[in-house]
Structure 1
Amino acid sequence: MDQPVILIAEDEPIVGLDLCDTIAEAGYLVEGPHADLNSAMLAFQKRRPDLAILDIRLNDTVVYPFAEKLIAEDVPVIFHSGHLPLDEVDARFPDAPALSKPCPPGEILSQVHSTLNPCDQAADEPMIDAATPDAQTV
């Protein structure tokens, strides 16, 4: 099986390199970090990623139009930002997870895994048997 490709768009050099290292050490192929929107868009055009992790602002450019393009092409997006307008992100991208910086590596990797493997997440949820009465009605 091919390793999933993760596109990373992050304009803070240390954060970008740390994020790329975290993702690569977990066994994913990394495309990035891309510090500006044009670079990220060119990378997307050259090779379609399996997932994109996007800072909301890249050098004062908002990435929402790029995120919309990725989602339209069935590329899931995770927002990763220190200035996260949660209400705005939730309204525009209700299915895209959003992580606030600083975010622990384990949390990032957990979100990457669950975004790439939504069936695994569903399997982890408890099953409710309709034939079994719940404790409150007994």
Structure 2
Amino acid sequence: MTNDHPNTIMVVEDEFVIAMDLQHMLEDEGYEVLGPHVSVSEALCDLADDLRMPDAAVLDVQLDGEDVMLLAEQLRLRNIPIVFHSGHAKPEDLEKRFPGSFFCAKPCSAERLTQTIARATQT
């Protein structure tokens, strides 16, 4: 693991193949992955463990009909950068509700996602 980027990224994604792809992509880049979590409640439980705070989070916006905004609010309260990863959400709506957040449209290349995570964690 190099020290030129944060170590731990929380991944919240309910589609198994995409979740595994994100996990492997991030691990290949040297990140430790918290998750992937398939639900908001699962991710919130992980956030409750203060020993495992992520340096950033990659969130799918819709988790099997579940709204991820409660989790995003908790991340924002902890000053954890958020990268929304969605094929349905409007980036401008997310930016309005979560100023300073980032957005990657699905599908997203590994290079684009890791560059976005790097930008998110530099602010």
With normalisation by structure 2, the TM-score equals: 0.89
The residue that corresponds to 1:134 in the other structure is none
Q: Does 1:76 align with 2:81?
A: yes
Letter in 1 for 2:40: L
Cα distance in 1 for partners of 2:91, 2:119 equals: 20
Q: 1: distance between equivalents of 2:46 and 2:104?
A: 23
Within 5 Å, give how 1:1-138 maps onto structure 2: 4-46=7-49, 47-118=52-123
Amino acid paired to 1:61: E
- Larger CA Rg, structure 1 vs 2: 1
The structure, 1 or 2, with the larger RCO (C-alpha pairs under 8 Å, 6+ apart) is 2
CA shift, 1:96, in A, is 0.2
Letter in 1 for 2:29: A
Q: Give the ranges of 4+ consecutive aligned residues of structure 1 lying more than 3 Å apart after TM superposition.
A: none
C-alpha distance in 1, partners of 2:41/2:110? Answer: 27
After superposition, the CA RMSD in angstroms is 1.5
Shift of residue 113, structure 1, vs aligned partner = 1.4
Distance in 2, Cα, partners of 1:77 & 1:114: 11
Shift of residue 110 of structure 1? 0.5
Deviation at 1:93, TM superposition (A): 1.2
Q: Is there any run of 5+ residues in structure 1 with no aligned partner, and where? A: 119-138
User: 1:131 aligns to what?
Assistant: none
Identical positions, percent: 31
Is the CA contact (8 Å cut-off) linking 1:82 and 1:100 kept in structure 2? yes
> Structure 1-normalised TM-score?
0.80
Tell me the CA shift for residue 3 of structure 1: 5.5
Instruction: Report the count of equivalent residues.
Output: 118
- Give SS of 1:49's match: coil
Shift of 1:86: 2.3
Alpha-carbon distance in structure 2 between the residues aligned to 1:13 and 1:40:
15
